[in-house]
């Protein structure tokens, strides 16, 4: 027992050290990735029929994947939330994952002369109250592992959903080589990987944590020569009725961020969407602009010199109660539902965020 406690203590110490490193590095990476994404989105808007669009799309996809890697690393080493929960149909989320992984299981496999067949057996299931982005990450991680399992020789990947009692079950099965008992025992441990340098050892451990935060279960069933099955169980919840509130449409926006390149590119993207946008480099400048003009929404970074986003939102909500506020945080800020509720913000995002995430967050403040 004492040896187990000692091992667990050492693992926690390592995770804490990695977490501290990840937080510091992530903040710098996120600022850089944010600029790349916003500038790339802006160029894609301006150059719809240009031959360089395909290259820009590749750059955007690579930057997005880089952002996801940083998010996975940080999420594994920090205790934090996953944004707002929402009611979704798991089947729709799985369809999205199939489309997102299609280049791997169809195009890349086809180029190698390998056939991978996807079999979807999705029952008519009720909606479930979850962190959808986090669950999508789980399905992506498991699906990519299943593809890797059959990528060399081909095979079948089967995805099933069914509701039973008060739970929802999702199963992802592959006809690959399977795993040994020793591998199965360690598959959900942080940093454990069977892929050598190609794997971070974080995908499945992160997935396990996400499912546990949903009060669900994630199990793996596998033997050498028989393939592998991942079984996810999630609790169903009764949907509460909430009154519909109609808010005025957002027209005039103030974008507050001390990162000039990111701020200018995002402001131009918002302008192309039809919004009237003004910029401020810090909280003090934002408050000065608020004295002269009325804004429907303020989109603000949290970590800024002179006056932080937290302080800005408190002043805005005290003096301009009808102005909506969306905060954008880096990984160093402790951002969760309770904090945002206390600040009375209308939405929040985590850097690096895609422009469509910003656009969707703005639209949600209208409902």
Give the model confidence (pLDDT) of 243-270 as tens digits: 433 335 788 999 999 888 889 989 998 9
Asked whether the predicted pLDDT for residue 28 surpasses 50, the reply is: yes
Contact by Cβ (8 Å): 253, 294: no
Is there a single domain that holds both residue 98 and residue 170? yes
Residue in the block written with tokens 């040994």: 180
Task: Determine the Cα–Cα distance for residues 223 and 239; give it in Å rounded to an integer.
Answer: 39
Answer whether residue 217 is part of any domain: yes
Domain count, the chain: 3
CATH number at residue 268: 3.40.50.2300
Answer whether residue 168 is part of any domain: yes
Domain finish residue from 33, 60, 77: 77
- β-strand partners of 324: 297
Q: Which domain holds residue 347?
A: 252-364
Answer whether residue 129 is part of any domain: yes
Is there a single domain that holds both residue 211 and residue 273? no
pLDDT at 221: 94
Is there a single domain that holds both residue 327 and residue 204? no
Answer whether residue 246 is part of any domain: no
Is there a single domain that holds both residue 22 and residue 155? no
51-79 pLDDT per residue, tens:
888 888 888 877 877 776 666 555 555 54
Is there a single domain that holds both residue 222 and residue 95? yes
Contact by Cβ (8 Å): 187, 178: no
Domain finish residue from 26, 59, 77: 77
Domain finish residue from 202, 235, 268: 235
Band (pLDDT 50/70/90 cuts) for residue 157 is very high
Is there a single domain that holds both residue 155 and residue 283? no
Is there a single domain that holds both residue 127 and residue 231? yes
Is there a single domain that holds both residue 18 and residue 114? no
Answer whether residue 121 is part of any domain: yes
Asked whether the predicted pLDDT for residue 357 surpasses 60, the reply is: yes
β 128-130/276-280 pair status: unpaired
Is there a single domain that holds both residue 110 and residue 200? yes
Q: What is the value of pTM for the model shown?
A: 0.50
Residues in the chain: 367
Is there a single domain that holds both residue 117 and residue 228? yes
Contact by Cβ (8 Å): 68, 62: no
Asked whether the predicted pLDDT for residue 366 surpasses 70, the reply is: no
Is there a single domain that holds both residue 228 and residue 257? no
Answer whether residue 245 is part of any domain: no
Answer whether residue 242 is part of any domain: no
């Amino acid at each position: 027992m004492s040896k187990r406690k000692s091992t667990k203590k050492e693992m926690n110490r390592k995770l804490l050290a990695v977490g501290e490193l990840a937080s510091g590095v992530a903040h710098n990476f996120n600022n850089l990735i944010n600029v790349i994404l916003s500038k790339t989105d802006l160029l894609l808007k301006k150059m719809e029929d240009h031959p360089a669009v395909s290259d820009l799309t590749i750059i955007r996809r690579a930057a997005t994947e880089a952002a996801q890697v940083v998010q996975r690393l940080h999420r594994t080493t920090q205790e934090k939330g996953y944004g707002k929960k929402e009611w979704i149909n798991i089947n729709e989320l799985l369809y999205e994952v199939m489309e997102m992984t299609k280049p791997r299981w169809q195009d890349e496999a086809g180029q190698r002369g390998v056939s991978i067949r996807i079999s979807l057996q999705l029952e008519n299931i009720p909606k479930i109250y979850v962190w959808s982005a986090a669950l999508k990450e789980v399905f992506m991680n498991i699906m990519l592992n299943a593809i890797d399992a059959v990528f060399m020789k081909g095979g079948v990947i089967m995805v099933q959903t069914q509701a039973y009692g008060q739970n929802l079950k999702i199963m992802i099965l592959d006809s690959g080589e399977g795993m040994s008992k020793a591998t199965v025992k360690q598959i959900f441990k942080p940093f454990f990987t069977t892929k050598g340098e190609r794997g971070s050892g974080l995908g499945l451990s992160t997935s396990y944590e996400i499912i546990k935060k949903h009060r669900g279960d994630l199990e793996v069933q596998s033997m050498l020569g028989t393939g592998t099955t991942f079984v996810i169980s999630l609790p169903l919840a009764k949907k509460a009725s909430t009154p519909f509130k109609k808010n005025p449409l957002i027209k005039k926006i103030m974008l507050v961020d001390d990162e000039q390149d990111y701020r200018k590119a995002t402001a131009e993207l918002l302008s192309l969407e039809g919004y009237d946008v003004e910029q401020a480099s810090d909280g003090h400048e934002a408050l000065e602009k608020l004295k002269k003009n009325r804004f429907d929404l303020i989109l603000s970074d949290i970590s800024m010199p002179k006056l932080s986003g937290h302080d800005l939102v408190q002043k805005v909500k005290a003096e301009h109660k009808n102005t909506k506020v969306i905060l954008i945080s880096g990984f160093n800020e402790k951002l969760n539902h309770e904090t945002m509720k206390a600040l009375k913000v209308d939405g929040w995002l985590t850097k690096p965020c895609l422009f469509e995430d910003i656009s969707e967050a703005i639209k949600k403040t209208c409902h």
